[in-house]
Structure 1
Amino acid sequence: MPRRDLRRADQLRPVRIERGYQRYPAGSALIEMGHTRVLCAATVEERVPFFLKGTGTGWVTAEYSMLPGAGTERTAREAMRGHQTGRTQEIQRLIGRALRAVVDTQALGERTIHIDCDVLQADGGTRTASITGAFVALVEACATFYTKHGVFPVRDYVAAVSVGVSAENTPLLDICYEEDSAAMVDMNLVMTGAGAFVEVQGTGEGRSFSRTEMNVLLDLGEHGIRELIDHQKTALGTVLSWLPGREG
């Protein structure tokens, strides 16, 4: 069965990343993947959590939220409920882990970088889009205090994508909400530019899956992530794209 948007099984949705989307944060990016849109902002704070004071190392933390009108039906703001859902906590921890995987906390110094990811419109893949867009905001923020000839705090690129197996047993890259809700297998992958895995979240939704199928999904996801990293480099431009991994 052809995909709703007529994409190939191994094709990403249209991707657009606009760096410097907000005026006041040290770094920001609006990422669009199909109909999913996430605004990512990075704010630099010249202090660290109490458990890192005096260590000379920094910290990266993330918050995630979905605006009331992001989906087909309005959802109440979590602040009105007085607590975050388990899903929200899981996603923001994932974003933080993904970014810290490529950050040199010694080079960061005793600074905290707060990453805020706000979903403006959701059509599947909001957590993976958040990671991919947040990386661009993170690099832009680190560039504001980077000292020439020093070690740039971001060591490598990192991006994320969703993959899945359809009801027709077809492996699919970058699944939208409609495909996700009907998928037999659903998986989120986070990988670095060097090809190392940061996170693999795979679930048999409609049935179990084999090691062979898992390998196919991993290869499909790696293909998509390499393409997303190219989009990150384009968004960062010639001024910033060369900074990740720079020493001296």
Structure 2
Amino acid sequence: MQRFDGRAADELRPFKITKYFQKYPAGSVLMEIGNTKVICAATVEDRVPVFQRGTGVGWLRAEYSLLPSATATRTARESARGKQTGRTQEIQRLIGRSLRSVLDLEALGERTVILDCDVIQADGGTRTASVTGSFVALVLALDSVIPKDKTFPVKDFISAVSVGISNSGEPILDLCYEEDSSAIVDMNVVMTGNGEFIEVQGTGEGRPFKRDELNTLLALGEKGNNELISYIKDSLGSELDWRIGSVK
């Protein structure tokens, strides 16, 4: 099939992770996939929410925002409207759940990690880019505060991709905006480096989808995530790669 941007059905858009994109956060990256660009920054605080105090256990949460100029038509700031949209809240919870699934909160100790994901340009897949970029920012941040002789709190790699069924009925990987806005089925797949699924969000927007279509979409998601995680390992380098999953 001929896709909007000329890619094969099982091909990711060009992607790139720029580490330490910002000066002040403990860990930060610019996550680029196609024309989607997200700044992901991790801040580590030596305090925890009330429900975690005195437990010796840490916490992680995420915040997500879409800058007004990130889309073709200006999007008003949520702060100006006085409330977050349901979409923003859903994405924040997805990022937080995904990262906590591979985080040893006891090894983290009574610290809170805050992930800020700011979309500076949106062209489909902003939530999956946020998950992937946030993971790298998290690893960079914790490497700066967890001594080398202590258990590293990150237990496994994670990444996320979008998959779907195009308006012509073809299963495709990594939807750009034009594909996403007209897709029959839209799905996000979050996976670990060990090939396990963390979250699958799928909706039949144009029609219900069949079990064999679901299997095809999951296989596409697995292929895309394997490519991203391989790139993440190369990006982090051997000095950081070995810490993930290490136990002291």
Query: Which category describes the TM-score, using the shorter chain as reference length?
Result: over 0.9
- Structure 2 counterpart of 1:23: 23
In the TM superposition, what is the alpha-carbon distance from 1:208 to its structure 2 partner?
Answer: 0.6
Deviations for 1:177-226, whole angstroms, at most 9, x for unmatched residues? 10011111100011111111111100001011001100000011001001
- What TM-score results when the alignment is normalised by the length of structure 1? 0.98
2:53 maps to 1:57:
no
State the secondary structure of the residue aligned to 1:116: strand
- Structure 1 counterpart of 2:227: 227
- Structure 2 counterpart of 1:168: 168
Instruction: Give the Cα separation in 2 of the matches to 1:141 and 1:128.
Output: 20
Instruction: Give the Cα separation in 2 of the matches to 1:219 and 1:37.
Output: 25
State the secondary structure of the residue aligned to 2:198: strand
For 1:145, the aligned partner's letter is V
For 1:217, the aligned partner's letter is L
Instruction: Give the Cα separation in 2 of the matches to 1:222 and 1:10.
Output: 11
Instruction: Give the Cα separation in 1 of the matches to 2:92 and 2:137.
Output: 15
Instruction: Give the Cα separation in 2 of the matches to 1:113 and 1:185.
Output: 34
- Structure 2 counterpart of 1:122: 122
In the TM superposition, what is the alpha-carbon distance from 1:18 to its structure 2 partner?
Answer: 0.6
- Contact 1:149/1:247 (CA < 8 Å) preserved in 2? no
For 1:147, the aligned partner's letter is P
Instruction: Give the Cα separation in 2 of the matches to 1:89 and 1:11.
Output: 30
Instruction: Give the Cα separation in 2 of the matches to 1:24 and 1:231.
Output: 25
- Structure 2 counterpart of 1:11: 11
State the secondary structure of the residue aligned to 1:186: strand
- Contact 1:188/1:202 (CA < 8 Å) preserved in 2? yes
- Structure 2 counterpart of 1:157: 157
- Contact 1:161/1:190 (CA < 8 Å) preserved in 2? yes
Map 1:169-184 onto structure 2 (within 5 A): 169-184=169-184
- Structure 2 counterpart of 1:113: 113
- Structure 2 counterpart of 1:82: 82
- List 4+ stretches of structure 1 deviating above 6 A: none
Identity %: 62
Instruction: Give the Cα separation in 1 of the matches to 2:128 and 2:234.
Output: 18
For 1:37, the aligned partner's letter is K
Instruction: Give the Cα separation in 2 of the matches to 1:231 and 1:27.
Output: 18
Instruction: Give the Cα separation in 2 of the matches to 1:234 and 1:14.
Output: 16
For 1:236, the aligned partner's letter is L
Query: Which range moves more in the overlay, 169-178 or 143-152?
Result: 143-152
Query: Which range moves more in the overlay, 119-128 or 147-156?
Result: 147-156
Q: What 5-or-longer segments of structure 2 have no aligned partner?
A: none
For 1:242, the aligned partner's letter is W
Instruction: Give the Cα separation in 1 of the matches to 2:190 and 2:135.
Output: 12
State the secondary structure of the residue aligned to 2:229: helix
State the secondary structure of the residue aligned to 2:218: helix
- What TM-score results when the alignment is normalised by the length of structure 2? 0.98
Map 1:125-136 onto structure 2 (within 5 A): 125-136=125-136
Q: What 5-or-longer segments of structure 1 have no aligned partner?
A: none
State the secondary structure of the residue aligned to 1:154: coil
State the secondary structure of the residue aligned to 1:132: helix
Instruction: Give the Cα separation in 2 of the matches to 1:118 and 1:235.
Output: 21
2:71 maps to 1:71:
yes
In the TM superposition, what is the alpha-carbon distance from 1:74 to its structure 2 partner?
Answer: 0.6
State the secondary structure of the residue aligned to 1:144: helix
In the TM superposition, what is the alpha-carbon distance from 1:43 to its structure 2 partner?
Answer: 0.2
Instruction: Give the Cα separation in 2 of the matches to 1:242 and 1:34.
Output: 29
